[in-house]
A and B are shown apart, each in its own frame.
Chain A
Amino acid sequence: MPAFEYAPAPESRELANLKPSYRPFIDGEFTDGGGEPLKTVNPATEEVLAEVGTASEADVDTAVKAARNAFEKTWGPMPGSERAKYLFRIARLVQERSRELAVLETLDNGKPIRESRDSDLPLVAAHFFYHAGWADKLDYAGFGPDPKPLGVAGQIIPWNFPLLMLAWKIAPALATGNTVVLKPAETTPLTALVFGEICQQAGLPPGVVNILPGAGDVGARLVGHPGVDKIAFTGSTEVGKLIQRQVAGTPKRLTLELGGKAANVVFDDAPLDQAVEGIVNGIFFNQGHVCCAGSRLLAQESVVDELLDKLRYRISTLRLGDPLDKNTDIGAINSAEQLTKIRELADSGEAEGAQRWTSPCPVPDRGFFFAPTVFSGVHQSMRIAREEIFGPVLSVLTFRTPDEAVAKANNTPYGLSAGIWSEKGSRILWTANRLRAGVVWANTFNRFDPAAPFGGYQESGFGREGGRTGLEGYLDV
């Protein structure tokens, strides 16, 4: 009998309407940036997708000025109910163009189409819809009557969820009456620039949203710009610290959403099969390029062997390969640089004595891929238990008692998210109360909703995005 081979079901890349070049979006127009153009690469094939113009120092000035102008003349004075209309319009346009955006995101980022189509894009639209609803109700958000926007928001987003992070940043900023200058990540600028087109389609007044592709230098100029009232950054802890130093002593507001090393705690009474699903979703979703990924599995010693057997079997069924194929579960690592980093950290795990297991799945010859990997026998003192790997690598630790689970889970400089698996409600609540993490999921992992605030503790940053709490970061309260 032949094996059950799924036929390739690739989504057409024509849907992405890929253009040979993309340009910065400033003051409502696409303009040639003064910076050195960069090439963006499809990480699944290593081919160049497009040339992207970047912003020079003068472009940052122009964009900030345009944002200031829009804030003072059009967007700031506009009644909330009018701003809401624009946001609703953007949300609907995102839905209408969601297939195009999903394919483009997958081409540029390497994430499976299943995720960009079923997870990223619906959430992007949901964030605009949700915040559109807030735009005319800010008086009732609990911050007193008539809370004021801050002004011009400088926003810097990472490459793991290019369009979703854009939505998390832009939607609340616009809903609260701020204007925006956003810098997408160097390796994934395309969907953000198409979002510029959507702003035009929506008839958004010029200058309300500006998008400046570029590398870290553009981000640094934006952060240091005196015309910016607020900085919102999602990315690495290292860069977050630099930004915090740069902003210190200025009147700028700052929110940081940084790295993580989340614990996924599995008690012995957990629904094991679903815990396995949650672990897989926690660490292999988006190739593990998730700041809140459940990269440390803390399993109770009495079930760890059974759990690992189930987990390895489940992981070996994951399909790795062409991200545009609808049957693909795990796509490409976003860049060669990131792949090197993952390899280096995984090797350190082996060198420090942890047992490495790698899924036997076939790996394509071309492109940046890393097969799902599980380290067992990991201890708190090892690098793979402490440092964020940002790839499909799971470290498995064990514990004996609930107290030990909490102590180990909290023994990290990070604190973005955590997971608890147990059939016992009281144990879930007891544990959740003690875990120092911005989000604690129970019997699930990596669930997002625009109404649920998201953010970190300690080196995972401060400030919240989403929900009523998320509005606070863009209001003078």
Chain B
Amino acid sequence: MELDKIEEKDLKMGKANQDVFSETLQALAETDRNIIAVTSDSRGSGKLVPFGEKYPNQIVEVGIAEQNLVGVAAGLASAGKKTFAVSPACFLSARALEQIKNDVCYSDNPVTLVGISSGVSYGALGTTHHSLHDYAVLRAINNIIIVAPADNFETEQAVRLAAKTNKPVYMRYGKKAMPFLKEDNKTFEFGKGRVVREGNDITIIATGETVYPAWLAAKKLEDEHDMKATVVSMHTIKPLDIKLLEELASNGRPIITVEEHMVNGGLGEACASHLFQKGFKNPFKIVGIPDEYTVTGSQVEIFNHYGISKDGLFKTCKELLDI
């Protein structure tokens, strides 16, 4: 499996979500001078060079200083600017965590924190550059929406919605091109999961760039075993779409969650916690990065190693379905 190579003729290949972010922010800035991007020497990796050239008065550079990045962004937001603070997810969500907690969330300054090259997108650059903790740490902070868009549709919608939402938002995405996962795109709301494939035999709840391999695994399951999986892009990790979650669990079928995040404290544990407390007893498997030194490799190699892949998820489906 290659994340940026289309494997399925039914899907249309799109761009990298980071390019969609940049284009959408430019489109918003064209009519709204209050849109401000704040960068930490990250305009290149954040694909914001064209934005900076077109709107030099709407980009604030702070240099490699993530704490200041978030503090300054909070000040700009407090002054009425629709502020997008863009920095690699690994640094943004760890080094500036206290600024996120206090200056953005606790002080309720509506900054959109954009974690670029998230998860293991940086691949062989290693653990310093991976963000496998961001869902967990931010889930433990009050007053923040956590979003991991899967495809270009979700990314564009998430950026537009973040600009309108008067609340702190953390958004993260990677660098690889993503296919459009569904044609009949309807409304997009934070906190409402998006069903991208329907079936009654098993449910796969994935988020961010793991939705694509989940979709491929479901297709393989159908092609090879005539069994159908529901695949959900749970793009909003917080607040979690508990209504959809309960609907999905109500048939008693197995549930697999998939995330580009450590299994501790992420999407899977959030789903499991809710369902268990509500009395659901579905067979349940959390697929993510285990609590160990992450294997060395590219994003796809790491995905394959930990079963976040078409074949890996297909195998997990078979195990849970006992086929």
Pair from one complex? no
Residues of B within 8 A of A (CB): none
